[in-house]
């Protein structure tokens, strides 16, 4: 990727303007790059790119951990390693709207990518703005006004908020829960433990089959009950489970959980289960 890269997530006038700007830089090579976090979206993007027969080649790069900022930084750093005498410029299309909508559509992802890329020696990031409101004014010189502005805001805002939420989710996935020892469970509190399945027992009560399993770690044992329709049918002795639920106790009975969330970490043969 020597020269200039334009990061794209769609095919619209803002992207075309950024590509036009990139060609004006007279770089040795101009490449459009899409960091793929959604295979279906990437396929649609490729179809639209080919449909419009755009001169700039499109490179789709899988981003399996969904951290697009880090992926962008690593991509540029790799290019600098491969082409040591090359300056790399990254272009980031940005759409600007009316003042109210502009606040909703502030492209935080572009800002993050720009800051990350700019830390790399001989690399620079440029945000290429595209003023949507002024282009609408040019297209409708006699009709442009509050009515059109409100119409544009009404149409664009839900899509913009949805896209930003999706990017934020990919950029900041929830961390996995902290795993504690079984003897560290506190009654009435939700927690996550890992333990080996020691026993599985299916019992019938009032015509319904309930699965009861006993798991344990080095600190103690935990009894887990699954009511019909709440999972547990794939649990077998010897598996290593990660279980998240609320610890309870009835009378002098052992501590237990009912219908917790669980995941098989390791099969009884010691293998990691296929996703």
Q: Which pLDDT belongs to residue 144?
A: 46
- Domain check: are 138 and 203 in the same one? no
Helices (DSSP H) in the chain: which residue ranges?
Answer: 13-24, 39-51, 68-82, 99-104, 108-118, 132-139, 146-171
The closest alpha carbon to 167, from 108, 92, 252, belongs to: 108
Q: What is the pLDDT of residues 226-239, one digit of tens each?
A: 988 888 888 999 99
CA 107 vs CA 35, 71, 123, 206: distances in Å: 16, 17, 21, 57
- Domain check: are 11 and 87 in the same one? yes
- Domain check: are 39 and 91 in the same one? yes
- Count up the domains in the chain and report the number: 2
More confident residue, 86 or 236: 236
pLDDT higher than 90, residue 180: yes
Give residue 158's pLDDT band: very low, low, confident or very high (50, 70, 90). low
Q: Which pLDDT belongs to residue 247?
A: 92
- Domain check: are 249 and 122 in the same one? no
Highest mean pLDDT among 13-22, 24-33, 148-157, 184-193: 184-193
Q: Above pLDDT 90, what percent of the chain?
A: 28
- Domain check: are 243 and 165 in the same one? no
Distance from chain centroid for Cα 64: 9
The residue from 139, 171, 203 where one domain ends is: 171
Structural domain of residue 245, as residue ranges?
A: 179-266
Q: Which pLDDT belongs to residue 102?
A: 43
Does the model's pTM come out above 0.95? no
């Amino acid at each position: 990727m020597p020269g200039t890269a334009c990061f794209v997530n769609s095919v619209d006038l803002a992207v075309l303007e950024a590509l036009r700007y990139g060609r004006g830089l007279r770089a040795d090579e101009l490449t459009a790059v899409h960091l793929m976090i959604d295979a279906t979206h990437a396929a649609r993007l490729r179809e639209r790119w080919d449909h419009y027969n755009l001169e700039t080649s499109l490179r789709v790069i899988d981003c399996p951990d969904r951290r697009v900022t880090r992926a962008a930084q690593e991509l540029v750093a790799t290019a600098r390693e491969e082409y040591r005498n090359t300056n790399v410029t990254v272009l980031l299309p940005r759409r600007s709207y009316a003042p109210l909508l502009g606040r909703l559509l502030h492209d935080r992802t572009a800002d993050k990518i720009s800051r990350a890329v700019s830390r790399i020696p001989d690399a620079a990031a440029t945000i290429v703005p595209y003023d949507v409101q002024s282009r609408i004014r040019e297209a409708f010189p006699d009709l442009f006004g509050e009515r059109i502005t409100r119409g544009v805001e009404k149409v664009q805002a839900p899509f913009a908020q949805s896209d930003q939420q999706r990017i934020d989710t990919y950029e900041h996935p929830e961390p996995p829960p902290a795993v504690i020892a079984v003897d560290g469970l506190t009654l009435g509190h939700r927690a996550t433990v890992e333990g080996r399945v020691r026993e599985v027992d299916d019992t019938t009560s009032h015509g319904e089959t309930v699965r009861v399993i006993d798991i344990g770690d080095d600190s103690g044992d935990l009894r887990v009950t699954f009511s019909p329709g709440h999972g547990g049918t794939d649990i077998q002795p010897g598996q290593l489970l990660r279980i998240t639920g609320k610890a309870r106790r009835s009378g002098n009975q052992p501590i237990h959980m009912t219908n917790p969330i669980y995941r098989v970490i390791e099969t009884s043969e010691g293998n990691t289960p296929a996703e």
